[in-house]
Copies of this chain bind each other. A is one copy, B any other.
Amino acid sequence: MRPGLHTVTEGRGLLFGGDYNPEQWPEHVWAEDAALMRAAGVNLVTVGVFSWGRLEPSPGERDFAWLDRVLELMHGAGVAVDLATPTASPPPWLGHRWPETLPVDESGTTLWYGARNQWCPSSPVYRERSLAITTALAERYAGHPAVVMWHVGNEYGQVCHCDLSAAHFRRWLRARYRELDALNEAWGTTFWSQHYSDWDEILPPRTAPYIVNPSQRLDWARFCSDALLAQFTAERDVLRAHSPDKPITTNYMGFFKPVDYFAWAPEQDVISNDWYPDPADPRFPARAALTHDLMRSLAGGRPWMLMEQAAGAVNWRPHNLPKPPGQLRLESFQAVARGADGLCYFQWRQSAFGAERFHSAMLPLAGPDTAAHDEVRAHGRELHALSDVAGTTVRASVALLHDWHSWWAAEERARPSDRLSVTEQLTDYYHPLWQRGVTVDVARPSSELTPYRLVIAPQLFLLDEAGAAALTGFVRSGGVLVVGPFSGIADARGHLYTGRFPAPLREVLGVSGEAWRPADRAVHCSWRDETGFTPTSFTARDWTETLRADGAEVIATFDADGGPAVTRHEFGAGVAWYVGTLPSAAALSELTARFLADAGVAGVLPDLPEDVEAVARGDLLFLLNHGDGTVSVPFDGDAVDVLTGSPLRNGATLAPRGVAILRQHAGTGTAGPATR
């Protein structure tokens, strides 16, 4: 049994803190930091993420004394440390002495030092040097009482197209395919005369005169994720060998396309995420919830950790909107509600120099006597009052399917329409569930689906036979399945299935198609009379299909040709829906009500006001008002708001961006998903 996040939260409750980079400040500032952390209720800081150049100023030279003092200081202040391997940003000496460690983009351009991340995942020199500094850290601090967790690297995502990467890619391909013929078959190299006669001919997808082989690119995406994972596990193994009792994490970036977090998650002790929503995106609260649900799902339902978020504005968008007052607290509780046991920020103290000097922090450059820091301190106090939330879980009866391999394959160049977006379709289907207070897990087709009553696949372009069989079996056993357009189209190689689509799901869906017909204008559809939908017509966008019902009931038709647009198929003990277009949000919301009815699933509260999110975690019901106005949320019976201790009867009132966390009296069971 590996240590986990519980190892850290035990005795500490919810974790609150941030990245701490004392090497940017003279030592006299450190003591002020420690005092201000205590005042703000900080109990965890991540140290050392970008300290390689400080720890190893020149090759082989080591300077740990400053870090000794930092850890001592934190320990004395009662602040635990998540100690990072500093390998995300090698010092300039690495690229200067070993230029082959520098990454190269697909056009052959070298990416130099001067920023960060300038390392090739396939470089033996980088591997050797990164493990050497990791070993030195592990040897020195494995037993340090301040250190409670290890943090490997940072936001893995580097890609390199150099010759070393090419050689590594070939090794990876040999392990996958064994025989060159198998690779030629998988990549479809009879197309455009791309037959490989020797392993040495194979290259990463580099700049080419026209569209590069999509199967080559799919394997390249797989390789890149795996090559990074190998670097992670190599560092992790060094840490585990020296420090077996402390959990290890690396920080994710939500729905980050280059890295398959489903493959990574089992390799980590703690799932942690960095989350920087765009305040200009009207759907960001729902996206936040979906992303948090992904993290909880990656953590196997156990608590996870928000490793980085911004206390206010970020600095890397063209125009960086601040968070209005209350927003920091609202977003933090949203993560707690969805299973987070750690609420950390990048970073503790705002930098005065460097590329992120304009990024907000828990402690602004203007100092502690600021509205921004006041909010941080107040929120730290609130989190301490909630310490018994730590370790509790969130239950879901609905799963949304997402698969990185499908994502990679689906959004290749030269497809029917680039207006189909995997994450937009995910959000489209997530949004009406979120609005209804229905909690959702994120799974992939090979996940265990028996816990769920409703499984939704908004877009699973790539679906292998095993995945299709799992979905078919799920319905046969009584589950409700919803499949969105452009699903079940390609096999694991990225080859299109022949025959009517979606070939491996035709049986369970009872519908099949022969043509995608991207649409230029708004798509008009009609509900069939017997469905009872009102109004009887709806709009969709961008996408139509030529479908034929093969046993399914037609729920809606395309006005243009009268053919099926939405179908419902009773199959085995369950029901399978197919949606062959991109319905408007209103239409999808109405459809979602039918999906839920078929599955016998209800939200945690009926009739939620718009903009109010409701989630049950453990025995608490979180109500979160993402709107600008004051709203009333009715419920039956009595409850207590654990933040204020106030008793509530039959409802709660939420201020703009307000939060209520209810513990309900026995017998008033509104919290928790409804049962059939």
Which single member of B92, B109, B197, B519 contacts A207 (CB below 8 Å)? B109
Task: Let me know if A478 is at the binding interface, CB within 8 A.
Answer: no
* A202 shortest CB reach to chain B, Å: 8
Residues of B within 8 A of A195 (CB): 53-54, 57, 91-92
The digit string for A509-541, where 1 denotes a CB below 8 A from any CB of B, is 000011111111000000000000000000000
Task: Let me know if A355 is at the binding interface, CB within 8 A.
Answer: yes
With contact pairs A109-B108, A205-B114, A207-B109 given, residues A193 and B352 touching in the complex (Cβ less than 8 Å): no
Task: Let me know if A600 is at the binding interface, CB within 8 A.
Answer: no
Residues of B within 8 A of A1 (CB): none
* A153 shortest CB reach to chain B, Å: 12
Which stretch in A312-320, A332-340, A390-398, A425-433 binds the other chain?
A: A312-320
Task: Let me know if A415 is at the binding interface, CB within 8 A.
Answer: yes
Bound-complex Cα distance A103 to B191 (A): 20
With contact pairs A203-B112, A358-B414 given, residues A190 and B23 touching in the complex (Cβ less than 8 Å): yes
Residues of B within 8 A of A351 (CB): 188, 191
Q: Are A52's CB and B114's CB within 8 A? A: no
Bound-complex Cα distance A365 to B216 (A): 21
With contact pairs A206-B114, A354-B214, A514-B371 given, residues A365 and B498 touching in the complex (Cβ less than 8 Å): yes
Q: Are B57's CB and A416's CB within 8 A? A: no
Main secondary structure, interface of A, reads: loop
Q: Are B513's CB and A366's CB within 8 A? A: yes
Task: Let me know if A501 is at the binding interface, CB within 8 A.
Answer: yes
Which single member of B21, B353, B356 contacts A493 (CB below 8 Å)? B353
Task: Let me know if A357 is at the binding interface, CB within 8 A.
Answer: yes
Q: Are A117's CB and B210's CB within 8 A? A: yes
Q: Are B209's CB and A111's CB within 8 A? A: yes
Residues of B within 8 A of A352 (CB): 188, 495-498
Task: Let me know if A2 is at the binding interface, CB within 8 A.
Answer: no
Bound-complex Cα distance A493 to B353 (A): 9
Bound-complex Cα distance A52 to B367 (A): 59
Q: A480-499: which residues lie under 8 A (CB-CB) from chain B?
A: 493-499
Residues of B within 8 A of A322 (CB): 515-518
The digit string for A276-300, where 1 denotes a CB below 8 A from any CB of B, is 0001100000000000000000000
Bound-complex Cα distance A372 to B515 (A): 8
Bound-complex Cα distance A664 to B513 (A): 44
Residues of B within 8 A of A177 (CB): none
Task: Let me know if A4 is at the binding interface, CB within 8 A.
Answer: no
What are 15 contact pairs spanning A and B, CB under 8 A?
Answer: A24-B191, A53-B195, A91-B194, A111-B209, A115-B212, A191-B353, A211-B356, A313-B518, A315-B414, A316-B414, A353-B496, A355-B414, A356-B414, A358-B414, A364-B515
